[in-house]
Structure 1
Amino acid sequence: MIKRFAIFRWIRNRPIWSALIILVAALILYKVLAPSEPTYEYVAMPVDRGAVTRIVSASGKIRALNTIKVGSEISGQVSRVFVDYNSQVLAGQPLAEIDPTRVAARVTQAEAQVDLARAALAQAEAGLARARTDIEIQNRDYHRRKELAARGFTSKTGLDQAANTVAAAQSGLKTAQAGVISARAQIRQREAELQSAKLDLTRTRIIAPASGTVINKLVEPGATVAASFQTPNLFEIASDMRVMQVEASVDEADIGEVRVGQPVRFTVDAYPDQPFAATVRQIRTSASEAQNVVSYFVILQVQNPEGKLLPGMTANVEIVTGARAGVLRVPSAALRFRPRPGDRPNDETTPAAGASRSTTVWLASADPYKPERRTVRVGMRSEEFVEIVGGVKPGERVLLRSRSLEKKAEEEPDDEEAQEEGR
């Protein structure tokens, strides 16, 4: 009791100090009991209508629609080259020439062999004529001896000798006939060798098989071409560079959405701000695997009237696998967003299993830190937007993410600082 009176007496005797102590205690109590200002805020975006485009991203190389590799079927030293890189050539135009000296000598030798074979045929035919004359003479002699033997003017032995001579003449005739056949076969063989040598002589001039543009040249004058085991590649000709193709590598997880005829847009590093349009022309079923990643080649056809696209360029491809215009949509980030634990309602539940077309989004409410949970039905999905079939209305604001106010205050200058920086 005495202590209580002493405190009252101290307060009555020191009113200023007492008031200061009470004020400090009130401030401390207010700081402890009053709610603190939030250090974050939620970023929202209104639900609107627009386009939802589903794409499959890939990369690939630009190739000519038809690339022809021109080689040499004979060996030799290249004496002349008539074209260079980017040369426009026509079908039948000479590209290069291999030294024809050795092949021309083969042609001359083959012609001589044909002449020899024809001379041998003439000799064989002359021998055949002699054999036929001989057999006629021997036949007449045999018949004469046979008549004499019937009259008793010649012996049996003389008749037998005449018969043996006829048989020998017949054998000689068959031999002469075989010699003619052999000589004719020799002529055909030598003529075939001559045709082969002449063909090789024409092959010393490398001819363009089709019209187009020379995109690769692998030979220079003086180089030696060896065509012993395989045809060496000398030139590459793009038949028509006004139409190109893109060989895009699509991941196995996305290949199921790709169809022939789907529209495609892509860019190349040479023209990063200019998109090009293409169409899916072919989906190759042969898979390629690199580092345990399986992919499939999708062939895209693109028009190249200005010749800007060149073989070998890298294309960044977006295949449009689905598109809807004028639908209700929200950003894809809204489906992944979840409020901070303190801002969620106590009855928050997860959508039932099997409701694959239903999900949860959070809407801004009157209290910016107490968002409203809403179950929505979704349609087509893309990387940027998701189609909403039902559950929200246009104009309602969906939450996308939270943003720190402290970081924002540190990073964003005030109006005076911004004006100074502007000056």
Structure 2
Amino acid sequence: MLSKLRSWIGRHKIWSALIALVLLYVAYLAVRPVQHDYEYLGETVARGSVERVVSASGKVRALNTIKVGTEVSGQITKVYVDFNSPVTKGQVLAEIDPTRVRARVQQIEAQVALARAGLQQTAANVARARAELQIQERDYARQKSLAERGFVSKANLDAAQTRLNSARNALEVATAQTESGDAQIRQANAELSSARLDLNRTVIIAPASGVIINKLVEPGTTVAASFQTPNLFEIAADITKMQVEASVDEADIGQIREGQDVTFTVDSYPDDVFRARVRQIRKAPVETQNVVSYLVIIDVDNLDGKLLPGMTANVEIITGAKANVVRVPTSALRFRPKAADRQAQEEPQPGDPDRKQAPRHFVYLAGTDPYRPVRKQVKIGLEGDDYTEILSGTKPGDKVLVRTKSLKPRTPSEDADEDDSAAS
């Protein structure tokens, strides 16, 4: 057989060479390494801290904002403060023209004086009626005694009785007039007190110490307090302590508790992280375009005065935290290798339980073959946005895969699209 093959090769050298080249090429294709256009990137399992946060946005507010108004209508004649002016309790902020109110006070004072004079006159009438009553009582007694002895007629006794009754009625009328005059004085005094109170209210004073954060009037402005109290100023009682009113989605509100730590930033100081604490969770729902949220009140110190009322706060409420635990990137729990690289691992083997019984949480570890990662079941603890606590299944030093990186050459159009997206 070999002799025939050698004979045929000797007679057909060119064909023999071509066949040998084809066989060599086929063998090369069988043994050459497969070229991949991607690679897997991983991160080493290590110990560290894990935080679970709820993100929200809100507004910075003064802890106690006082709106200063007026119950008196009139024209503002003087304004003594401006925006950002510090004020103390009792300090005069503005004045309203008191001319009309002062005239009303003088008018009521005159009414009080007139009522007092009338009361004095009725008091004199009472004294006169009482004296007349005493005279008629003595006269009636005398006439009765004489009538009993027959010295005067029955007609004279009846006339004395009539005069006595008239004197009694006159005393009752005078007494009633006195009570009416006294009531008129009390009414006039009440109106006088109200008018004097309005006169005092023409001077607007600060009800508490703080800083003027809003001024709504200038000299010459006319304010009308007919239907509601107009606001003139807004005072932030204490700007060294502020609060953030954060709107938390209903899906996350169940994780929020009073006393939880909070971090937030504001656009004015993007590099500064402010620390705060949850003070209150308001149970009243706020519905906006069919989205339900709840207001969470967060206390923050503002000793350096950087925070101003109305600033937008980007809030992160720390709902869980653990330190010095074994952790992996949360993205490792979501990572899946290419189908060609994981098909053999995930095919059920004889005797294996049903695929529905597969572990819920697992990661892929880098193996000896970079394109054949090893799937590993893990038990997780606290799950955060960036890292997740691992209770069992991996140990520090293992390398878990987190994402796939493409090795295909990038075209200029793809680079331009990426630059445009980054710029936007």
TM, length-normalised to structure 1? 0.89
Residue 271 of structure 1 aligns with which residue?
Answer: 269
1:213 pairs, out of 211, 214, 220, with: 211
- Structure 1 residue 185 displacement after superposition: 0.6
Residue 187 of structure 2 aligns with which residue?
Answer: 189
2:319 pairs, out of 302, 321, 324, with: 321
Residue 70 of structure 1 aligns with which residue?
Answer: 68
- Structure 1 residue 21 displacement after superposition: 5.1
1:173 pairs, out of 168, 171, 174, with: 171
8 Å CA contact 1:351–1:360 kept in 2: the answer is no
Q: 1:318 to 1:351 in 2, by over 3 A?
A: farther
Matches within 5 A, 1:327-346: 327-346=325-344
CA distance in 2, matches of 1:351, 1:306: 59
8 Å CA contact 2:331–2:402 kept in 1: the answer is yes
Moved more, 146-155 or 122-131: 146-155
Q: 1:23 to 1:72 in 2, by over 3 A?
A: farther
Deviations 1:151-185 (A, max 9, x none): 32211011001101101110110000000011011
Deviations 1:363-406 (A, max 9, x none): 11111111111101000000001110001121111111111111
Tell me the SS of whatever aligns to 2:228: coil
8 Å CA contact 2:9–2:16 kept in 1: the answer is no
Deviations 1:108-164 (A, max 9, x none): 001000000001101100111111111111112212221221232211011001101
Q: 1:210 to 1:311 in 2, by over 3 A?
A: same
Q: 1:99 to 1:240 in 2, by over 3 A?
A: same
Letter of the 1:371 counterpart: P
Residue 370 of structure 1 aligns with which residue?
Answer: 372
Tell me the SS of whatever aligns to 2:364: strand
Matches within 5 A, 1:284-299: 284-299=282-297
CA distance in 1, matches of 2:304, 2:336: 50
CA distance in 2, matches of 1:31, 1:169: 147
Letter of the 1:137 counterpart: I
CA distance in 1, matches of 2:17, 2:67: 98
Residue 92 of structure 1 aligns with which residue?
Answer: 90
8 Å CA contact 2:75–2:220 kept in 1: the answer is yes
Letter of the 2:408 counterpart: E
Moved more, 386-395 or 108-117: 386-395
Deviations 1:255-312 (A, max 9, x none): 1111111111111111100111111111111111112211111111111111111000
CA distance in 1, matches of 2:167, 2:81: 68
Does 2:42 align with 1:40?
Answer: no
8 Å CA contact 1:363–1:397 kept in 2: the answer is yes
CA distance in 2, matches of 1:57, 1:199: 51
- Structure 1 residue 354 displacement after superposition: 10
Q: 1:149 to 1:233 in 2, by over 3 A?
A: same
Deviations 1:334-366 (A, max 9, x none): 1001111111143526875696xx511111111
Residue 249 of structure 1 aligns with which residue?
Answer: 247
Letter of the 2:312 counterpart: T
- Structure 1 residue 22 displacement after superposition: 5.3
Letter of the 1:380 counterpart: L
Does 2:108 align with 1:106?
Answer: no
Letter of the 1:195 counterpart: S
Letter of the 1:283 counterpart: I
Q: Which runs of structure 1 show a deviation greater than 6 angstroms over 4 or more consecutive aligned residues? A: 7-10, 408-411
Q: 1:335 to 1:103 in 2, by over 3 A?
A: same
1:391 pairs, out of 390, 393, 417, with: 393
CA distance in 2, matches of 1:74, 1:11: 123
Q: Show structure 1 runs of 5+ residues with no match.
A: 1-6, 412-423
